[in-house]
């Protein structure tokens, strides 16, 4: 059944039509991949879904409830959590405190913040770094922190924005395993934007391909790679790994 429903979403920035008539369905328990070259409008899409920007027209429904017009923190309160493309740790706070802040949202029952934070850190494998200052972590660890923080809000849907960006191959494999584990153990519904095709294709069950703000194809990973429009959008880009 459809958990997140996006219908005919539109957003213009001045002359630029960043998101053009985008529709997609995210089914409960799925991992949906958003594929598209740089500048295709993927992060804008996330911003629209999570209440950071308001769309010009269209509809976003979470389990039948409209998310339009809600400020970002309310969207999180309804169960949609996201990570950012560029890691944004809370400067000046420790790793543990970062996750604790995530646990202060409305969906989390009031209980021992620290304990819960430690559990989450355990899940992402950051227990040893709990007392470190978050801005001093390695990039790979910061990504894990982002995910832990998002998980702390007790989300029903997790939107990941290029989680593998800037990571080495070892870190990518580890993070990929983490995402798969989270999905399997918690039945978390996940949406994933990513460039790195190999890991992407192995993780997702469905793909929505976007270019120039428009949906150019949907389907299972094996079908999408054969889609001529997708290939055209990606000519010459398959070799280029998204090096940060």
Q: Which of 16, 91, 173, 244 binds another protein (CB under 8 A)?
A: 91
Cα distances (angstroms) measured from residue 91 to each of 84, 134, 161, 208: 15, 7, 20, 35
Can you tell me the distance from the alpha carbon of 149 to that of 136, in angstroms, rounded to the nearest whole number? 16
Q: Does 123 bind another protein (CB under 8 A)?
A: no
Can you tell me the distance from the alpha carbon of 33 to that of 35, in angstroms, rounded to the nearest whole number? 6
**Min separation Cβ 1 and another protein, Å:** 25
Q: Does 113 bind another protein (CB under 8 A)?
A: yes
Q: What secondary structure letter does DSSP report for 125?
A: T
8 A C-beta contact, residue 133 and residue 90: no
Cα distances (angstroms) measured from residue 99 to each of 72, 78, 120, 124, 185: 18, 19, 8, 11, 20
- Binders in 214-243 for another protein, by CB under 8 A: none
**Min separation Cβ 153 and another protein, Å:** 5
Q: Which has the closest alpha carbon to 167: 177, 180, 181?
A: 177
Can you tell me the distance from the alpha carbon of 162 to that of 168, in angstroms, rounded to the nearest whole number? 14
Residue 61's SS3 state is strand
* # of chain residues touching another protein (CB under 8 A): 31
Can you tell me the distance from the alpha carbon of 182 to that of 198, in angstroms, rounded to the nearest whole number? 19
**Cα angle value 148/206/188 (rounded, 5°):** 30
Q: Which of 92, 109, 170, 187 binds another protein (CB under 8 A)?
A: 92
Binding mask 153-192 for another protein (x = CB under 8 A): x---------------------------------------
Q: Single out the segment in contact with another protein by CB under 8 A; choices: 105-113, 163-171, 204-212, 233-241.
A: 105-113
- Binders in 66-85 for another protein, by CB under 8 A: 71-74, 76-77, 81-82, 84
Q: Which is nearer to another protein, 89 or 217 (CB)?
A: 89
Q: Which of 100, 137, 167, 230 binds another protein (CB under 8 A)?
A: 100
Q: Does 86 bind another protein (CB under 8 A)?
A: no
Q: Does 37 bind another protein (CB under 8 A)?
A: no
Q: Which is nearer to another protein, 47 or 189 (CB)?
A: 47
Residue 81 has which token pair? 């959590």
Q: Does 129 bind another protein (CB under 8 A)?
A: no
Residues in contact with another protein by the rule CB under 8 A: 50, 52, 71-74, 76-77, 81-82, 84, 88-93, 97-98, 100-102, 104-107, 113, 149-150, 152-153
């Amino acid at each position: 059944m459809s958990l997140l429903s996006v219908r005919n979403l539109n957003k213009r920035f001045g002359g630029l039509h960043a998101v053009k008539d985008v529709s997609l369905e995210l089914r409960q328990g799925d991992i949906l991949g958003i594929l598209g070259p740089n500048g295709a409008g993927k992060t804008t899409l996330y911003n629209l879904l999570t209440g950071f920007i308001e769309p010009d027209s269209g509809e976003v429904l979470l389990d039948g409830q409209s998310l339009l017009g809600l400020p970002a923190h309310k969207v999180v309160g309804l169960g949609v959590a996201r990570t950012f493309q560029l890691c944004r740790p809370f400067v000046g706070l420790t790793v543990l405190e970062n996750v604790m802040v995530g646990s202060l949202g409305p969906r989390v029952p009031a209980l021992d913040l620290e304990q819960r934070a430690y559990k989450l850190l355990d899940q992402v494998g950051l227990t040893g770094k709990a007392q470190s200052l978050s801005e001093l972590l390695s990039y790979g660890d910061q990504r894990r922190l982002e995910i832990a923080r998002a998980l702390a809000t007790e989300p029903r849907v997790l939107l990941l924005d290029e989680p593998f960006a800037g990571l080495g191959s070892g870190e990518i494999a580890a993070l990929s395993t983490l995402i798969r584990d989270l999905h399997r153990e918690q039945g978390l519904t996940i949406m994933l934007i990513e460039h790195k095709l190999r890991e992407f294709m192995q993780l997702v069950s469905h793909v929505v391909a976007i270019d120039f703000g428009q949906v150019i194809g949907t389907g299972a990973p094996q079908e999408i790679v054969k889609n001529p429009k997708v290939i055209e959008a990606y000519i010459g880009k398959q070799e280029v790994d998204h090096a940060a």
